[in-house]
A and B are shown apart, each in its own frame.
Chain A
Amino acid sequence: MSAARTEVLADSAAAAAAAARGPRLWAELIRHPGVLFGSVVLLVMCAVALLAPLLGTMDPATIDPTHRNQLPGSEWTRTDASGDEVTWVAWMGTDTLGRDLYSRVIHGARVSLIIGVTVAALSIAVGLAIGLAAGYVRWLDALVMRVMDGLMAIPAILLAIALVSLWGGGLLTVIIAIAIPEIPRVVRLVRSIVLSIREEPYVEAAISVGTRVPSILIRHVLPNTIAPLIVQGTYVCASAILLEAILSFLGAGIPPEIPTWGNIMAEGRVLFQVYPHNIFFPGLFLALTVLAVNVLGDGLRDTLDPRMAKRF
């Protein structure tokens, strides 16, 4: 019975929200607890990854056979790179080869963040281009979307394992392997936005004043995709970080000599019941990062698109 009323109210609310955009958007973003928590955690994580050598770590590949499987907090003296004797505290213990877990987890953040960000950027760039074309050029639509449907039917992990066994493991292979299954999701999102925007009278007005197709796409259609794509990008980023860990854990991802959270967990798996710290610390970092990215994404969605807020 109240449909008419809610419509009126939604309209005025949307108008008010539109009027309030601009300078107030930043204030709104910073006030949102999800955005605040997510971005602070991610910034800290980025800083940690960038500054890894300065944070009291040692070479994550150094093997110390005399101090294998040390529990977190153990102390002993060792000779550092300059030949001095120093007291070393293994905050997170060591693994079965005597490598310092703290150094490995901190260095592992680099790989995870690089993969998360690159996969998000890559899949959005490619997906955006395909999505714009598919949404605007009618004859292309059916063709492209069937290919995308096909891609979506392939499980991401299987595709990644296949690619890694074809090309050999490595950062680039993993990035491509994770990005490919994400592209169709981005394409679908962009296409659906383009399909609704192209019917807007302002787009038709632009056509009737002789604006060429590329300008219409860039000037009138593209800006409408930015907010949803930022949000989608965070989800892609989170799932890429998780997928990389899964692939490394399965031994199908980054080669084992490079420390990543997945590799560390894979190596710690055998002695998990005796030395759970090998899995606990990388797992904790992984969970925290993914949580931060997801919370940030939810927060961005709420602020950039108020209509979606409080819907799960």
Chain B
Amino acid sequence: MSEPVLRIDRLTIALPKGADRRHAVEEVSLAVEPRQIVCLVGESGSGKSVTAHGIMGLLPKGQLTPVAGSIALQGEDLLRAPESRLRDLRCTAMSMIFQEPMTALNPVMSCGQQIDEVLRTHTDLDPAARRLRILGIMRDVHLQGPEALIDAYPHQLSGGQRQRIMIAMALVLQPALLIADEPTTALDVTTQAQILRLIKELQRERDTGVLFITHDFGVVAEIADRVAVMQTGRIVEAGEAKRVLSAPEHPYTRMLISAVPSMTPRAQRRTDGAPVVLATHGLSKTYHTGGMFGPGRVVEAAKNVELSIRRGETLGIVGESGSGKSTVARCIVRLIAPSAGQILIEGADIAQAPSRRLRNHRRRVQIVFQDPYRSLNPRRRVGQSIVEGPINFGVAKHDAWQRASELMTLVGLDPKALDRYPHQFSGGQRQRICIARALAMQPEVLIADEAVSALDVSVQAQVLDLLDQVRRRFDLAMLFITHDLRVAAQVCDHVAVMFEGEIVEQGSAAEVFGNPRHAYTRALLDAAPGRDWQFGKFRAA
């Protein structure tokens, strides 16, 4: 065994007074060896990012203070090192890459300049040598045509290219330790797969130790040598990746791993005889941008989309960002008007219906959005949000509130909470309230637009369960939009795969997942992190 690059010993970081717990990180110990990838896994608020920032010395002064323990980088105590020493160590001995490559790069500096800044600060190379070095590292991170990209600005690059630039910046001086803080969370699955492969490859070549922070067990299965699971500031379980994934010991780890949805589609229900509730024919949405001066740009967000959902059935639309899934959803709810095609709700075409006729349509189709923090008006009590719709349609106040409290019970919340404001609820609870709001309208079609994407995996499982329950109970037709193939496999009877505004493949979940016909579907399935790993279902001990 070699000497670890990073050794954290009983690190405790205090939170400011008045926070919900005393320590952000409590007695955390872990070690990263050269050529090793250690995954730090946990749900939001577990303290994984605080740990990473603590290592880099990037904690906000006066707010988060390490109060006990030590962090040693190649034997050097970082907590006692002065700021100037930390500055020297950053990028030369330890580097960090962030979740959002757009905000982590300076938008007014070209990519070459940003990598150059690292070299200028830490080396005495002359400009020509630095340029060679930059081109070299850009080639190493597999950026095509580095001579052109060196002068490109971040907004001209794709998300994956930006993350490669971040990685190039982090690794150009060959640091011994790379900290990756959710580096692939903001990326599409196919890009994520490439970046994960890249990190693994570079780390092997350069003997870098990697501390990889993630919330996704798929990514862990893909990349980790060792795993440490964090819960509310403490490491509850640590060990070899294979061992932790296949035989987790701590109840929290068991719960987390059990909550990871399986890639194998669930058994399909027979819904052939049920009537078709929602169908679209040739649904298209075209955006025209600019055009006032000079030629405009035409964006086809959705092209000839053909869908149909029967009562009691769940249709999933999967695809990467920009594929047009949300556009389709927003057209069906008629938040936007489609450019062409039909939207048939029980036979009535509402694609171009004027707003007066739309009102009746509105009560039949309800939508649950992605971001639980923005889908409820923060200034209104949640009860007011739930009864708003029924009262719009003439339901008496008393009856509407009565119904609202029944719905709160149904979605697993206390009816007394109707008087509270949204900020008093967690993300999962808010999503339950949004479901209650949708159900209050007694819809026939429920659209879930990435409704569980912003939630932690354990909460995600509960909300998915709830959605399935209400679908069964009210015999709803559900349109489930997601980028997450695991989630789609678990809830959908039928799946439509969207790519650049078109549905490239459509069929039963078992067919699409088991025998994908279109090349894009295959690429998507291949890119799903941890696809080869069967996450077991463990009983909570």
Contacts and interface: CB of A to CB of B under 8 A. Distances in A.
A4 B333 contact: no
Q: Which of A8, A15, A224 has the most CB of B within 10 A?
A: A8
B120 interface: no
Contacts of A204: 333, 335, 367, 369
Contact of A201 (B371, B380, B389, B424): B371
Interface string A210-226: 11100100011001100
Given A4-B100, A207-B335, A202 B60 contact: no
Contacts of A202: 374-377, 385
Contact of B359 (A7, A205, A206, A210): A210
Contact of A4 (B99, B369, B440): B99
Contact of B434 (A7, A15, A205): A205
A1 B104 contact: yes
Interface of B: 49, 53, 58, 60, 63, 96, 98-100, 103-104, 181, 333, 335, 359, 362-363, 365-367, 369-371, 374-380, 385, 388-389, 392-393, 423-424, 434, 437, 440-441
B369 A205 contact: yes
Contacts of B379: 223-224
A19 interface: yes
A208 B423 contact: no
A9 B63 contact: yes
Contacts of A5: 49, 53, 58, 60
A8 to B, nearest CB: 7
Interface in A86-130: none
Top-10 shortest CB links A-B: A209-B389, A201-B375, A201-B369, A210-B362, A3-B103, A202-B377, A210-B392, A4-B98, A201-B374, A18-B423
A305 interface: no
Contacts of B370: 201
B392 A212 contact: yes
B103 A7 contact: yes
Contacts of A219: 377, 380, 388
A118 to B, nearest CB: 29
Contact of A211 (B365, B388, B440): B388
Contacts of B99: 4
Contacts of B104: 1, 3-4
B45 to A, nearest CB: 9
Contacts of B96: 1
Given A208-B366, A212-B392, A215-B392, 4 more contacts: A4-B98, A202-B377, A204-B369, A206-B388
17 contacts: A1-B58, A3-B104, A4-B181, A5-B53, A5-B60, A18-B423, A19-B424, A202-B376, A202-B385, A204-B367, A207-B335, A208-B333, A208-B362, A209-B388, A209-B392, A210-B359, A215-B392
A121 to B, nearest CB: 23
A5 B423 CA distance: 22
A273 interface: no
A208 B335 CA distance: 7
Contacts of A220: 377
A2 B60 CA distance: 10
B437 A205 contact: yes
Interface string A4-47: 11111100000100110000000000000000000000000000
Interface in A214-255: 215, 219-220, 223-224
A15 B378 CA distance: 11
A200 interface: yes
Contacts of A223: 379
Interface centre among A5, A202, A207, A208 (most CB of B within 10 A): A208
A2 B440 CA distance: 43
Nearest to B18: A16
Contacts of B423: 15, 18-19
A209 B98 contact: no
Contacts of A201: 369-371, 374-375
Contacts of B424: 19
A284 B380 CA distance: 46
Contacts of B362: 207-210
Given A3-B100, A3-B103, A9-B60, A210 B393 contact: yes
A80 to B, nearest CB: 57
A67 B396 CA distance: 76
A219 B389 CA distance: 13
Contacts of B367: 204-205, 208
A18 B423 CA distance: 7
Contacts of A215: 392
A209 B366 contact: yes
A223 B380 CA distance: 10
Contacts of B49: 4-5, 8
Nearest to B170: A1
A9 B441 CA distance: 37
A15 B389 CA distance: 27
A235 B207 CA distance: 61
Given A15-B423, A19-B423, A205 B375 contact: yes
Contacts of A15: 423
A80 B425 CA distance: 70
B166 to A, nearest CB: 10
Contacts of A208: 333, 335, 362, 365-367
A83 to B, nearest CB: 63
B156 to A, nearest CB: 19
A280 B477 CA distance: 77
Interface string A165-207: 0000000000000000000000000000000000011101111
B103 A4 contact: yes
Contacts of B393: 210
Nearest to A7: B103
B4 to A, nearest CB: 24
A209 to B, nearest CB: 3
B53 A209 contact: no
A208 B445 CA distance: 12
A6 B60 CA distance: 8
Contacts of B181: 4
Contacts of A207: 335, 362
A226 B388 CA distance: 22
